[in-house]
Every structure is written in structure tokens, then in C-alpha cells.
Amino acid sequence: MVGSIIPSSRFTVDKMLAPVDWHACDLFVEYGPGVGTFCRPVLDRLRRDGALIVIDTNPLYIDYLKHMIGDSRFHAVLGSAEDVEAIVRAHGFEHADYVLSGLPFSTLPPGAGPAIAAATHRVLKPGGAFLVYQFSARARDYMARHFRHIDSGFELLNVLPCRLFWGWKADEDAAA
């Protein structure tokens, strides 16, 4: 369920977050934060009145992150990415501006990947994006069912070299 024991490199973090419009970001959600490689870089860029919700199924990671990150904008939730809509609502939001995923899509239980891609599309605001880094291109297949515009990238300076995808939710997708 973890996918990799080596945290993402700073090159992956910087490249993945580069297209984010931080001024327009009220809520940033992360799936599978693990030990929190992306959490501090996201908080460094996030507005002072923004929020970061991270969701992980592993209680050890969630306890660790709650202990390590003392920031009123940060909310670590024990749960599954499949339940993102309920989790976002429970924190007083209707939608997220960006959702970042470090989930191992190719090894998730059957049906979980498509369900997570669908729930992510529903929870995003039009103009928002689903940011995904993966060792395989499996995640892109799930994204393509919902996101018509997907940008792709590649980061060699990561263990293992990593594929990056940005799925943009178009205005006309609002009712999709």
C-alpha cells in the first residue's frame, strides 16, 4: 500500500507544485502524504488563510505528521482518498482548489483507483487541478476518464524516476 519507501526528491516536489496558482488556493488536499515530504513545501507556498488537508490510511504516518507539523492551516486525517468529499465537507469546505496524490495507483485494491479519480474530479473547483506523481502511467488512465486536459512531465532525479501528471478541471466540467 505504500508504493515506495524512498521519499520524493526536492526536484519532484518543485516540479509538481510549479503550476499551482497559490494566490487563488483556498484549500489544497494531499492523498498519501507518508512522512510529509510535500507538506512543508505546500505550507511554505500556501496563503496564510489557506488550508492543507492530508489524508492517509496509515495511522503511524498521521500520528507522526500531527506531532511534527504545528501549523493551524494543517489538518491530518486518518482515512481513504476515496472519502475525500466527506472529509473536505467535515472541514467546512465545499470544494478543493488542488488535490495532490502520491498514491501507488497500480497496487491499490480493485476499483479504488477509478473511484478516487472520480471523487477527485467531483471535489475540485472548475479551474483546479489533480496533481499526480507515479512510477507508472496507470494513474493517467484513471484521470483521463474525467480530465480532458492532462499535462505530463518526467523527473529523472528521483528514486525511482517519476512521471508527473496535472489534470485540469475545465469550467464546462462543473456539472460532469
Ligand X SMILES: C[S@@+](CC[C@H](N)C(=O)[O-])C[C@H]1O[C@@H](n2cnc3c(N)ncnc32)[C@H](O)[C@@H]1O
Instruction: Report the run of H or E that residue 140 belongs to, with start and end.
Output: helix 138-144
Query: Per CB under 6 A, which of residues 114..173 are in contact with ligand X?
Result: none
Smallest gap, in angstroms, from Cβ of residue 170 to ligand X?
26
If the CB atoms of residues 59 and 70 are measured against ligand X, the closer one turns out to be 59
Q: What is the total count of residues that contact ligand X (CB under 6 A)?
A: 23
Quote the cell numbers at residue 13: 516536489
Q: Contact with ligand X (CB under 6 A): which of 16, 17, 27, 32?
A: 32
Q: Contact with ligand X (CB under 6 A): which of 7, 19, 41, 153?
A: 7
| Binding pattern for the stretch 33-62 against ligand X, x by CB under 6 A and - elsewhere | xx--xx----------------xxxx--x-
Which residues fall within 8 angstroms of residue 153, CB to CB, at 6 or more apart?
15, 163, 164, 165, 166
Q: Which of 78, 82, 153 is nearest to 111 (CA)?
A: 82
If the CB atoms of residues 24 and 35 are measured against ligand X, the closer one turns out to be 35
How many angstroms separate the CA atoms of 69 and 75, rounded? 9
How many angstroms separate the CA atoms of 77 and 63, rounded? 9
Instruction: Report the run of H or E that residue 118 belongs to, with start and end.
Output: helix 112-123
How many angstroms separate the CA atoms of 34 and 117, rounded? 19
Kindly state whether residue 9 participates in binding ligand X, applying the rule CB under 6 A.
Answer: no
Q: Give the binding range for ligand X (CB under 6 A) out of 17-25, 98-106, 124-132, 142-150.
A: 98-106
| SS3 call for 30 | strand
Kindly state whether residue 80 participates in binding ligand X, applying the rule CB under 6 A.
Answer: yes
If the CB atoms of residues 37 and 173 are measured against ligand X, the closer one turns out to be 37
If the CB atoms of residues 4 and 136 are measured against ligand X, the closer one turns out to be 4
Q: Contact with ligand X (CB under 6 A): which of 28, 31, 98, 166?
A: 31
How many angstroms separate the CA atoms of 78 and 118, rounded? 20
How many angstroms separate the CA atoms of 25 and 168, rounded? 14
Residues that bind ligand X (CB under 6 A): 1-4, 7-8, 31-34, 37-38, 55-58, 61, 80-81, 102-104, 112
